[in-house]
Amino acid sequence: MIEVDNAVLNSAVAALNSGNQPHFSAYVEKIVEYCVKNENGKVFQDWDKDTLRQLVAYHQAKGTLIVLADDETNIQGVFMWYNCNSDDHWSFVYNWNEDDKDGDAIFLAFLFASNTSAWKQMLLTFIEREPDCLTKKLLGVRHRKGNPTRVEYTTKIFSKILKSN
């Protein structure tokens, strides 16, 4: 079990490992399976499934997890993010740092979608839950020329989506 100075993480992991919440554990497992199946080998390179379970439980506990499912409860998309500062890096994730709601940026860490419709619906939900995303810097990591590279996104994509709905 991860033990760091992050009360939300420690509480989420304790709930996950307690055995007292089987529905929560099954939900987390289903999300992890979807993420592993849909990632390209670059996102979770060296992460084992226990770490991924902890990651999903942590995001659920802090309210930065969107899971989209169809009528048969098949997952269509997963989106996780962090509130941070524009000078934070990927180590923010690896070190399990707590979100900084007063930070000037949002790190768009994990986004998997089965189709364009799911992607759009998750982004609209993200805007509803995290309206500061329209004014804060949007950060991410993309693999460019074989290396993880920090990138900044613009809100232009949000505008396009908002205009189409």
CATH number of the structural domain spanning residue 151 = 3.40.630
pLDDT digits (tens, 9 = 90+) for 108-117: 988 888 888 8
Q: Considering the chain, what is the average pLDDT of its residues? A: 86
Number of structural domains (the chain) is: 1
d(CA 94, CA 118): 27
Q: Is residue 103 part of a domain?
A: yes
Encoded tokens for 33: 């399976």
Four-CA torsion 16, 18, 22, 28, nearest 10 degrees? 10
Encoded tokens for 41: 């080998």
Q: Is residue 61 part of a domain?
A: yes
Q: Is residue 115 part of a domain?
A: yes
Q: Is residue 100 part of a domain?
A: yes
* Residue (of 104, 103, 80, 84) closest to 92 by Cα position: 84
Q: pTM here?
A: 0.87
Q: Which domain holds residue 128?
A: 7-164
Question: Does residue 40 carry a pLDDT above 70?
Answer: no
| CA-derived radius of gyration, the chain | 16
Q: Is residue 136 part of a domain?
A: yes
Q: Is residue 1 part of a domain?
A: no
pLDDT digits (tens, 9 = 90+) for 93-138: 888 889 999 999 999 988 888 888 888 899 899 999 999 999 999 9
Which of 3-12, 59-68, 147-156 is predicted most confidently? 59-68
Q: Is residue 2 part of a domain?
A: no
Phi/psi at 164 (5° precision): -85, -10
Question: What's the pLDDT at 164?
Answer: 64
